[in-house]
Chain A
Amino acid sequence: MSQIWKYVRVTPSGGRVRGVPARSSTTSISLPGTPDHLSSQSTLILRFVMSIMEHNGGSVVAMAGKNCVAIACDLRLGAGAQTIATNFEKIFPVTDRMYLGLAGLASDVVTLREKFRYLTNMFLIKESRPLEPSTFAHLVSSTLYERRFGPYFCEPVLAGLERTPSGSYKPYIVGTDLIGCLNFAKDFIVTGTASDKLFGVAEGLWEPDLEPEDLFETISQTLMNAVDRDAYSGWGAVVHVITPDKVITRTLKGRMD
């Protein structure tokens, strides 16, 4: 997803995929030694192509700790390279013990947020029992898969505490791709334009059984250092640490450029 320079086949008609905004630079660069196994009808060129997933930028990361979980996002909203707003939160509360992060196309972030709020409220009305993360994860998955052949351009991350039959809570974090394939993890989940950098930093900093304050430090350092190397994410961050009895929410300032 994070490949910015791409070989693009250009046909005389200039065929462009409908519904996908053309975010290519105006001048295309011809490539020396273009592979010429293509017909003369179309040419293969290297172009600055921005996928729709990167159009608005933004990243989300979630981490599991000891009896707690944390989830954090950056605050940038862009339109390509231009920054539009620096107050765009990508994490939303679902219940007292569960937050959902959405990275990807900002339009779909808002649409999905509203849709999930509607679906969870309807669940509470009809079932009159608390919504658990494992239940909600499958709701997210099936909602996204409903649009299998015209997906929402969003990769959600879910962080919450699952209630066990004994009455205690255990950390639950899960991510999905844009068509709802669930990806469970014991350690951390990353998504967004800085996901590759987040993987690296998280791999280095995360360790098992972190207490809430240590988990806060770990996730904050992970996100801040990753987005500093990503032009499409940044402009501060919001971190939520979820414990059985409370949620700690903090807004961070970073390199504001």
Chain B
Amino acid sequence: MLREFTCIICPNGCELEVEIQDGKAVSITGNLCPKGVTYVQQELTNPQRNIATSVPVKGGELPLASVRLTNPIPKDKIFEAMAEIRKLSVEAPIQAGTVLIENLLGYDSNVIVTKTVEKKQG
């Protein structure tokens, strides 16, 4: 079976043509770099995605601190991950890079703050 993939690893967005037999890629063409091969294999077995969202900041100069995952997690766990992150709330000041959840849902991925939010003045 021939299937098309759009590699999402980098902005090139290579369009890959993949010959699949028994759920495995037997040939991959169209990729500009080896990451395309890894991507297709991952997509066939266990597609992975990163997500970004925000957490509320108490007493912050901004209401929200943005967060993301340090590594992608299985695509079908995205909404579970969102539910976990939605439980979070932090207090100002909070620094970018702060880990809020380690090993999210048991995966090798942490939820980290991506924007420093200082305390609200006055």
Chains A and B belong together in one complex: no
